[in-house]
Amino acid sequence: MTNWYPASVPGTVHTDLFQNKIIEDPFFRMNERDLQWIDKEDWIYETNFDLSEEVFQRRNISICFEGLDTYADVCLNGVKILEANNMFRQWKVDVKTLLKKTDNVLNIYFKSPVKVDMPKWESLPYHLQATNDQSENGGLLDRKISIFARKAGYHYGWDWGPRFVTSGIWRPILLEAWDHVKMENVQFIQKKVDKKSAVVQTFVEVLSDQDSNPVSIQIEDENSHKIYSTVQIILKKGLNKIELNFVIKNPALWWSNGMGEPHLYNLKTLLLKEKEVIDSRNDKIGLRSLKLITVPDKAGETFYFELNGVPVFCKGANYIPCDNFLPRVTDSIYEKTILDAVNANMNMLRVWGGGIYENDYFYDLCDKYGILVWQDFMFACSLYPFTGEFKENVRLEAIDNVRRLRNHPSIALWCGNNECNEAWFGWGWKKEYEKQNPEFARQIWEQYLDQYHKVLPAVVSEYAPGVAYRPSSPFSVFGEISNTESGDNHYWNVWHGKAPISDYDSVRSRFFSEYGFQSFPAFESVKRYNPYEKDWDIYSDVMMSHQRGGSYANSLIKTYLLNGYQESKDFESLLFMTQILQGDAVKTAIEAHRRDRPYCMGTLFWQHNDCWPVASWSSRDYYGRWKAQHYFAREAYRDILVSPIQEKSMFDVYVVSDRLKDTKAKLTIKLMDMNGVVINTYDLLVKVTANSSEKVFSVKMKNLLKGSPENEVLAHVVLKTSDQSVYRNNYFFVSQKNIHYLIPNISRFVRAVGNGYEVTLQSNHFARGVYLSIEGVDSFFDSNYFDLLPNERKTVRVKTSATLEDFEKHLKVMSVADTYVHQ
Query: Could you list the active site residues?
Result: 419
Polymer length of the chain: 823
The DSSP string of 515-569 is: ----BPPPHHHHHHH---GGG-STTSHHHHHT-TTHHHHHHHHHHHHHHHSPPPS
**Phi/psi class of residue 183: alpha, beta or left (left: φ > 0; alpha: ψ in -120 to 50)?**
beta
Question: If 0-12 CB within 10 Å is exposed, 13-18 middle and 19+ buried, where does residue 73 land?
Answer: middle
Q: What type of residue sits at position 157?
A: G
Helical (H) or strand (E) element with 507: none
Q: Following CA atoms 595, 599, 601, 604 in sequence, which dihedral angle do they give, to the nearest 10 degrees? A: -70
Q: Kind and range of the H or E element at 25?
A: none
Q: Please state, as a whole number, how many other Cβ atoms lie within 10 Å of the Cβ of residue 754.
A: 8
Q: What is the DSSP string of 103-121?
A: -EEEEEEEPPHHHHHHHHH
Q: Find the angle CA(816)-CA(818)-CA(819) to the nearest 5 degrees.
A: 70
- Please tell me the distance from the alpha carbon of residue 345 to that of residue 111, in angstroms, as a whole number: 44
Cβ count within 10 A of residue 447: 18
Strand partners, 357: none
Under 8 Å between Cβ of 625 and 702: no
Between β-strands 227-235 and 213-221, what pairing exists: parallel, antiparallel or unpaired? antiparallel
- Cα 642 to Cα 713: distance, rounded to the nearest angstrom: 19
Measured torsion, CA atoms of residues 524, 526, 528, 533, in degrees rounded to the nearest 10: -100
Count other Cβ atoms within 10 Å, centred on residue 500: 14
Task: Please state, in angstroms and rounded to a whole number, the distance separating the CA atoms of residues 456 and 397.
Answer: 10
HSE (CB half, 13 Å, CA atoms) of 109? 13
Residue ranges with strand state E in 538-688: 602-605, 640-647, 650-657, 663-673, 678-688
| Burial class (CB within 10 angstroms; exposed 0-12, middle 13-18, buried 19+) of 347 | buried
**Judging by DSSP bridges, how do beta strands 372-376 and 411-415 pair with one another?**
parallel
Question: How many Cβ atoms are within 10 Å of 682's Cβ, its own excluded?
Answer: 17
What is the C-alpha to C-alpha distance for residues 665 and 662, in angstroms, rounded to an integer? 10
End-to-end C-alpha distance for the chain, whole angstroms: 69
Give the Cα separation of 489 and 43 in Å (integer): 42
For residue 657, count CB atoms less than 10 angstroms from its CB and return exposed for 0-12, middle for 13-18, buried for 19 or more. buried
Pairing of strands 276-285, 756-763: unpaired
What 281-284 contacts at long range (C-beta under 8 Å, 24+ apart), as own/partner pairs, is: 281/183, 281/186, 282/222, 283/186, 283/188, 283/407, 284/364, 284/367, 284/368
Residue 514 CB neighbours (<10 A): 22
Look at the alpha carbons of 666, 672, 677, 682 in this order and tell me if their dihedral is positive or negative: negative
Strand partners, 672: 678, 714
The whole-angstrom separation of Cα 170 and Cα 44 is 14
How many angstroms separate the Cα of 465 from the Cα of each of 188, 248, 291, 449, 469?
10, 20, 12, 21, 10
